Amino acid sequence: MIDDLLPGCRLVPLTVRGDERGSLVAIEGGRDLPFAIARVYYVFGTTAGVDRGCHAHFKLRQLAIAVAGSCTMLLDDGQRRVSVRLDDPAVGLTMGPMIWREMSDFSPDCVLMVIADTVYDDSDYIREYDDFLAAVKAAG
Ligand code: T46
């Protein structure tokens, strides 16, 4: 299953290496991902009812995987909005630049792991939706 959701945003099946002991997914930069891996972070223990994200990035590319539990990722390219439920540790969601994202409806056991192509850079964030729409318009 590979869905083109919005520009740079796809649901990507990950190869599961399984045997009688269980399952293992390996992700290698440049092979399983179209970028080199610069950073990995994960979100867990999310307070019930809160939303996270609510920003876009100028340049950052990421792959997000609900390695446990589930959450909803809303994606917005300034023209269209799509909502994806992440609930499978064998499926990743790529998120390209200039995509507004909001995460919600975290299950109590959700661990959302994100692989990114750059180290943390606060100046790459667009935190106001109106600023995001203006940047989309300016980009063309
Ligand atoms: C994104 C979504 C999916 C760091 O110090 N280093 C990091 O690499 C990250 C990601 C965050 N932080 C600090 C910055 C804040 O003080 O951790 C705190 C929480 O980060 P933030 O509020 O940005 O977390 P989310 O869940 O709203 O957003 C994160 C990513 O920031 C963002 O790039 O796409 O997850």
Q: What pLDDT tens digit does each residue of the chain (140 aa) get? A: 556 899 999 999 999 999 999 999 999 998 888 899 999 999 999 999 999 999 999 999 999 999 999 999 999 999 999 999 999 999 999 999 999 999 999 999 999 999 999 999 999 999 999 999 999 999 98
Nearest Cα residue to atom 27 of ligand 1:
53
The best mutation among 114, 115, 123 to test binding of ligand 1, ranked by most ligand atoms within 8 Å of the C-beta, falls on: 114
The C-alpha torsion from 130 through 94 and 116 to 30, rounded to 10°, is -140
Residue type, 95: M
Cβ proximity of 111 and 68 under 8 Å: yes
pTM (2 d.p.): 0.96
Rounded Cα distance between 8 and 95, Å, is 6
pLDDT of residue 100: 98
Atom of ligand 1 nearest to the CA of 54: 27
Tell me what pLDDT residue 43 has.
Answer: 98
Give residue 74's pLDDT. Answer: 98
Indicate whether residue 29 lines ligand 1 (CB < 6 A). no
Among candidates 53, 65, 72, 46, which has minimal Cα distance to 125? 53
pLDDT at 3: 66
State if residue 68 touches ligand 1 by the CB under 6 angstroms criterion. Answer: no
15 C-alpha to center of ligand 1: Å?
Answer: 27
